[in-house]
Structure 1
Amino acid sequence: MKSFTGSFIQECKMQLLAAKTDILNRVRNSRQEFATLDKAGGDEADQTMTLMAENDFLTAQSRMKELLLEIEFALARIQSGRFGICEETEEQIEIERLKALPWTRLSIEGAEIRESARRRFAR
Structure 2
Amino acid sequence: MAKGAAKHGTEKLTDQLVKECKEKLLKTKMDLLNRVKEAREKLDLGEKGGDEADQTMRLLAEQEMLNLNDRLRSQLFEIESALGRIESGAFGMCEETEEQIEVERLRAIPWTRLSIEGAEIRESVNRRYAR
Which of 48, 52, 59 in structure 2 is aligned with 1:51? Answer: 59
2:35 paired residue number: 26
Q: Distance in 1 between matches of 2:48 and 2:27?
A: 34
The equivalent residue for 1:39 is: 48
Do residues 97 (structure 1) and 105 (structure 2) align?
yes
Q: CA deviation at 1:48?
A: 1.5
Shift of 1:107: 0.7
Do the aligned residues in 1 keep the contact of 2:12 with 2:103 (CA within 8 Å)? no
TM-score computed with the length of structure 2 as normaliser: 0.89
| Counterpart Cα distance in 2 of 1:104 and 1:37 | 37
Cα deviation for residue 17 of structure 1 reads 0.4
The aligned residue for residue 72 of structure 1 is 80
**Is 1:14 aligned with 2:27?**
no
- Residue 56 of structure 1 deviates from its aligned partner by 0.8
Q: What percent of counterpart residues are identical?
A: 58
- Structure 1 residue 108: Cα displacement: 0.8
2:26 alignment partner AA: L
Q: For structure 1, list consecutive stretches of 5 or more residues without a partner in the other structure.
A: none
What value does the CA root-mean-square deviation take over the aligned residues?
Answer: 1.0
How many residue pairs are counted as aligned between the two chains? Answer: 122
Structure 2 Cα separation of the partners of residues 39 and 70 of structure 1: 35
Q: Which runs of 4+ in 1 moved over 3 A?
A: none
Question: What is the TM-score normalised by the length of structure 1?
Answer: 0.94
Shift of 1:3: 3.0
Gaps of at least 5 residues in structure 2 are 1-9
